[in-house]
């Protein structure tokens, strides 16, 4: 499958994933990005919006997109659905970290909340908590593309978000719990993805060695 990346300034990404019945949009970027996403869809029907996590630079255009797409399915993890609704309470066991980054919330709620292991069309939902408590990644089982959200970034090189990466500190600064994020980075690497399609930065082909190096560095 060709990977369709919609990007603002190369910094913040959304993706369009082709399915037999239409498109799945992965993440919605910052506010005022709905037009760019709809334009990239080129008239193809957008069936679903699947969110990796509830940070503002991933859900920013959710309301505008949902308004433009009546009947669209909106999917997010059960855990981050609460953050999307601006419920900032930590669950027992989550107090080792702190919610960081922007959680502006959205008026649009999910039509369905998912658990790890569920499928959204061809995308397998993979738990990858750490950056946020309910962060997930989506693995396209057809071609091995990993839509990794903010589990990894590729700006200034492939990095995890477990620690602050000096060449692109932003995602690391917004991470809830670094050790959990690092564990998730390992789990995603174990999927042996053919390409890494991150929330921030370019799509990286054959990312195994770069992911290994990032994990070894711990950032």
Residues at the contact surface with Zn ion, assessed by CB under 5 A: 55, 150, 174
Q: At what angle do helices 208-217 and 178-189 cross, to 10 degrees?
A: 160
- Residue 99 and residue 107: Cα distance in Å, rounded? 20
CB of 48 or CB of 55, closer to Zn ion: 55
User: Of all residues in this chain, which one has the CB nearest to Zn ion in the complex?
Assistant: 55
CB of 69 or CB of 203, closer to Zn ion: 203
CB of 193 or CB of 199, closer to Zn ion: 199
CB of 44 to Zn ion, least distance (A): 27
- Residue 74 and residue 200: Cα distance in Å, rounded? 21
CB of 101 to Zn ion, least distance (A): 6
CB of 8 to Zn ion, least distance (A): 15
* Torsion, Cα of 178, 114, 52, 209 (10° steps): 70
CB of 170 to Zn ion, least distance (A): 8
- Residue 18 and residue 67: Cα distance in Å, rounded? 21
CB of 69 or CB of 197, closer to Zn ion: 197
User: Hey, what are 10's tokens?
Assistant: 């190369």
Q: In which residue are the tokens 């477990």 written?
A: 162
The b-or-e profile of 111-147 (16+ CB within 10 A means b, else e) is eebbeeeeebbbbbbbbbbbbbbbbbbbbbeeeebbb
DSSP run (H or E) holding 196: strand 195-198
CB of 48 or CB of 58, closer to Zn ion: 58
Counted residue by residue, the chain has a size of 219
CB of 199 to Zn ion, least distance (A): 6
CB of 174 or CB of 211, closer to Zn ion: 174
CB of 131 to Zn ion, least distance (A): 5
- Residue 63 and residue 30: Cα distance in Å, rounded? 11
């Amino acid at each position: 499958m060709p990977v369709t990346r919609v990007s603002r300034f190369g910094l913040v990404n959304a993706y369009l994933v082709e399915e037999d019945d239409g498109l799945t949009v992965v993440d919605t970027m910052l506010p005022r990005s709905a037009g760019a996403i709809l334009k990239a869809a080129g008239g193809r029907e957008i069936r679903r919006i699947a969110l990796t996590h509830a940070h503002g630079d991933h859900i920013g255009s959710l309301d505008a997109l949902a308004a433009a797409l009546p009947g669209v399915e909106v999917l997010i993890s059960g855990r981050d659905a609460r953050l999307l609704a601006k419920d900032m309470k930590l669950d027992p066991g989550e107090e080792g970290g702190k919610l960081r980054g922007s959680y502006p919330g959205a008026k649009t709620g999910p039509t369905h909340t998912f658990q790890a292991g569920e499928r959204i069309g061809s995308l397998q939902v993979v738990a990858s908590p750490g950056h946020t408590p309910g962060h997930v990644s989506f693995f396209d089982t057809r071609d091995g593309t990993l839509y990794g959200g903010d589990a990894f970034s590729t700006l200034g090189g492939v990095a995890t978000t477990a620690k602050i990466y000096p060449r692109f500190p932003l995602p690391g600064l917004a991470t809830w719990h670094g050790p959990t994020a690092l564990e998730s980075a390992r789990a995603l690497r174990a999927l042996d993805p053919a390409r890494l399609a991150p929330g921030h930065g370019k799509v990286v082909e054959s990312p195994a060695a770069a992911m290994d190096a990032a994990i070894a560095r711990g950032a």
